[in-house]
Amino acid sequence: MFYNDASFIVVKVPFMQNQSFRWALIDLETTGTHVTQDKITEIAVIIVTEKGVESTWNTLLNPNQSISEAIVLLTGISNHMVAKAPPFAEIAEDLIMLLQDCVLVAHNVRFDYAFLKNAFKSCGLSYQPSMLCTLKLSKALYPQFKRHNLANLVEQFGIPFEVQHRAKEDVFALYLMLQAIKAECSLSMVLEQANILHKKPCIPAHLKTNIHSLSKTPGVYLFYGRDKTLPLYIGKSVSLRQRVLSHFQADHSHAKEFAMAQQVETIEVIETSGELSALLLESSLIKKKNPIYNRRLRRKTLIVRFKIAELNGYKTIEIVRESSNESSNYLIGAFSSIRSAKSSLQHLVKAFRLCPKLCYLEHTKGACFYVQLKRCHGACEQFEPAKEYNQRVFNALEQYQQQTWPFKGKIAIKETHPTTKSVQYLIFDEWRYLGTYDSPTVPMSESKAHDVDVYKILSAYLKKNTKQTEIIELNS
């Protein structure tokens, strides 16, 4: 049986006799690894049944986007080579018919599946095959091997074939590797392991941690790749196992999830007594460890806020860097940069007709420029009554105002671990987190600085869990 260009012959030999199955061995080349942006440039397929090789198929594809020099060097597929090749849409129906009723088999199958699924989806076709990852199969059958990439396995089995990062050559290498595995292991062992792997297809191929050993309790999880000092991602959940699994169940449609799944090797978990302690620990660890794929809670080295003061009876707004010595009563808002804060303040000045001089956005003598444009009522020259101007300042800043602390003093929030029933108390004062203790006592040290993220976490938690939360008000 020949490939399209007749450059390879796959011998039709019995593969796994006396067992009925239909596998589509596949390999793709792409313009990159971004699952929702990069496209397929080459596909090669070998259809294998218990009788042997049934058919082979391969083609170059025009991705309708430029192939970078780095990818050209890796695969040898250039923009010129694909210029007259068909786009995926032209071969989609033929390919899906070829793959029909087949188990999709590939080395790191989630990669090939993700690109195929998205390509078919762009053509209005649904593709949800059963899958077998030969990388996982190799790890299960040959745990003594240090490396399980295709090039190393081909060499390990003594197959005189060079993996070349071209689809048809690599899928042929995959076929030869499976033949070698079949020759070394019993047929029943190979099929048994394939069946086990089929039942857990969403687990990343390089992951060493047993996800099913994770608890279903609250806590924080850390994904690590090869670098065991820098996490890929830090998250939290009330059910660790369920949340970790969810990252990998739809990774084909989310570029970040897909990238993490391709890199994650180990998972560290830290159990907590409840949801609130998990939220606080997640926030703290993200700021401390600065994981690659966290953005929302990743602490910037600079926190910028609005400082509210008064000049001649008129409220002023100044952009300042946060200081632990500054009373939080005079600081509102939280921005990641001076530029971000300035942009927000400029918007407020225009929307609420505030004076740019009293917001320190203009430093001229006399009236501000906005007076000439009739956008400022002259607060900078005391033409406008202070009471009217200050009311507009209050209205403008209302969206940034922090809620008033709803308790007389410090509080303890009781958390009970759902499994062990152990109890812990999280102590807060004026939206500041003072620590976790075994009893609801007032801590000796109270030098914790105001943290915007703690405020957001606690205020949201109290709104959502008012009836279920056990709060103990403490004497100062």
* 258-289 residue pLDDT tens: 888 889 999 999 999 999 999 999 999 999 99
Strand order in the sheet with 470-473: 432-437, 423-429, 411-416, 470-473
What is the arithmetic mean of pLDDT over 158-185?
87
Handedness of CA 440, 441, 443, 446 (dihedral sign): positive
Q: Give bridge partners of residue 233 from the DSSP assignment.
A: 223
pLDDT band at 6; cut points 50, 70, 90: very low
pLDDT band at 246; cut points 50, 70, 90: confident
The pLDDT of residue 47 is above 80: yes
Q: Are residues 236 and 92 in the same domain?
A: no
Q: What is the pLDDT of residue 146?
A: 87
Domain presence at residue 325: yes
What span, in angstroms and rounded, lies between the C-alpha atoms of 337 and 298? 14
CB neighbourhood size of 468 (10 A): 6
> For the segment 113-132, what is each residue's pLDDT rounded down to a tens digit?
999 999 999 999 999 888 89
> For the segment 202-242, what is each residue's pLDDT rounded down to a tens digit?
788 788 898 888 999 999 999 999 999 999 999 999 999 99
Amino acid identity at 69: E
Q: Are 397 and 450 in contact (CB under 8 A)?
A: no
What span, in angstroms and rounded, lies between the C-alpha atoms of 42 and 22? 22
Mapped to the 3 state alphabet, what secondary structure does 325-374 carry?
A: CCCHHHEEEEECCHHHHHHHHHHHHHHHCCCCCCCCCCCCCCCCHHHHCC
SS3 420: coil
Q: Are residues 252 and 386 in the same domain?
A: no
Those residues whose C-beta lies under 8 Å from the C-beta of residue 5, and which sit 6 or more positions away, are: 58
330 versus 457: the higher-pLDDT residue is: 457
Identify the domain boundary among 172, 198, 224. 198
The pLDDT of residue 251 is above 70: no
Domain presence at residue 430: yes
Q: Are residues 30 and 160 in the same domain?
A: yes
The pLDDT of residue 353 is above 50: yes
431: left (phi over 0), alpha (psi -120 to 50) or beta: left
Q: Lowest mean pLDDT: which of 47-56, 250-259, 341-350, 353-362?
A: 250-259
Domain presence at residue 342: yes
Q: Are residues 262 and 168 in the same domain?
A: no
> For the segment 193-203, what is each residue's pLDDT rounded down to a tens digit?
888 787 665 78
Q: Are residues 421 and 390 in the same domain?
A: no
Q: How many domains does the chain have?
A: 4
Structural domain harbouring 451: 411-473
Q: What angle do CA 334, 335, 336 make, to 5 degrees?
A: 135
Question: Of all residues in the chain, what percent carry a pLDDT higher than 70?
Answer: 89
Helix H or strand E segment including 8: none
Q: What is the pLDDT of residue 5?
A: 43
What span, in angstroms and rounded, lies between the C-alpha atoms of 198 and 134? 11
Q: Lowest mean pLDDT: which of 249-253, 263-267, 379-383, 421-425?
A: 249-253
pLDDT band at 250; cut points 50, 70, 90: low
pLDDT band at 14; cut points 50, 70, 90: very low
The mean pLDDT value of the chain amounts to: 87
Q: Are residues 55 and 187 in the same domain?
A: yes
Domain presence at residue 452: yes
Indicate which CATH number applies to the domain containing 272: 3.40.1440.10
Q: Are residues 60 and 32 in the same domain?
A: yes
Q: What is the pLDDT of residue 200?
A: 63
Domain presence at residue 326: yes
pLDDT band at 302; cut points 50, 70, 90: low
C-alpha pair distances (Å), 46 with each of 32, 91, 160, 384, 389 = 23, 16, 19, 81, 76
Q: What angle do CA 247, 253, 255 make, to 5 degrees?
A: 75
Q: Are residues 245 and 345 in the same domain?
A: no
Cβ-in-10-Å burial (0-12, 13-18, 19+) of 443 comes to middle
Q: What is the pLDDT of residue 219?
A: 96
What is the arithmetic mean of pLDDT over 424-437?
91
The pLDDT of residue 15 is above 60: no
Domain presence at residue 296: no
Q: Are residues 276 and 218 in the same domain?
A: yes
